[in-house]
Amino acid sequence: MSLREWEVKKVRSFVTVALTTAASVIAVAAQHAAESAVAMTGGPLTIANGAAVAEEDSCDIVKDAKARVPEGDKIVLTPDGAAGAGEALFFIEYERCQ
């Protein structure tokens, strides 16, 4: 039995607490078990400095092998740590590979 694969299409952010100090750059990657995460082509997602509550940003992920995530693997979102404060919700758009 083969595992299902999912292809990431887009990552969206929705600010819930305004950002201060600096922009936040979010790397988008896939990680299998204990291996190092591999960045997806098309990221990162950048949330602008001073982004207000309800502001939305997004990044498209390029359709290639790095966008495919087998069932059981992780999608990892890693902030660069530059923003001094702020919070956001993240939404990942994907579809099942045939």
- φ, ψ at 7 (rounded to 5°): -110, 120
Q: Give the pLDDT of residue 1.
A: 44
Q: Give the pLDDT of residue 22.
A: 81
Mean pLDDT value across residues 34-61: 92
Mean pLDDT value across residues 35-63: 92
Amino acid letter, residue 11: V
CA 92 to each of CA 1, 2, 50, 82, 84: distance values in angstroms, whole numbers, following the listed order: 26, 23, 23, 22, 24
Q: How confident is the model at residue 85 (pLDDT cuts 50, 70, 90)?
A: confident
Mean pLDDT value across residues 90-96: 94
- Strand 56-60 and strand 5-20: the pairing is antiparallel
